């Protein structure tokens, strides 16, 4: 079995980094997802929550931040020196700000909709009792 974690393991053998901790984390994530799916019967509300929180971060906030970080980074001398003009940096920060405000607003409204008792039918946990 190879000791280098970046080398390819032989076919049909477990990954060298595979262990009980990885199984526990993955199992806990699946249990959490099942409980959320059972607790919130309206799947559209879960989609609103995910869209408001993660999609806005991945599409509005992280790309401009990573772009500015990569351009500002100094690399080897053979790399060309890059700069961002002030107007472009202002536009990037506006995109980040608008994305953050929109993401926070939609996430809060999704939480309010999920916590509103009149918005959906009873959870399956209530049906068991």
Residue-wise pLDDT tens digits, 39-62 = 777 778 888 888 888 999 999 999
Residue-wise pLDDT tens digits, 81-94 = 889 999 999 999 99
27/66 Cα distance (integer angstroms):
32
pLDDT, position 61: 96
pTM beyond 0.95, yes or no: no
Per DSSP, 15 falls in state -
Domain boundaries, the chain: 43-118
| Closest to 123 measured CA to CA, from 56, 39, 67 | 39
Task: Please report where in the chains the tokens 């961002």 appear, as a residue.
Answer: 84
Q: Report helix, strand or coil for 124.
A: helix
């Amino acid at each position: 079995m190879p000791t280098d974690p970046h080398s390819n393991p032989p076919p049909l053998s477990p990954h060298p980094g595979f262990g009980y901790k990885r199984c526990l984390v993955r199992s806990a994530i699946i249990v959490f997802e099942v409980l959320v799916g059972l607790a919130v019967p309206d799947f559209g509300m879960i989609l609103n929550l995910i869209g408001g929180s993660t999609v806005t971060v991945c599409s509005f906030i992280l790309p401009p931040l990573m772009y500015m970080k990569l351009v500002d980074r100094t690399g080897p001398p053979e790399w060309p020196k890059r700069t961002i003009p002030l107007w472009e940096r202002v536009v990037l920060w506006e995109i980040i700000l608008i994305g953050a405000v929109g993401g926070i607003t939609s996430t809060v409204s999704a939480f309010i909709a999920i916590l509103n008792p009149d918005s959906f039918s009873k959870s399956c946990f209530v049906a068991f009792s």
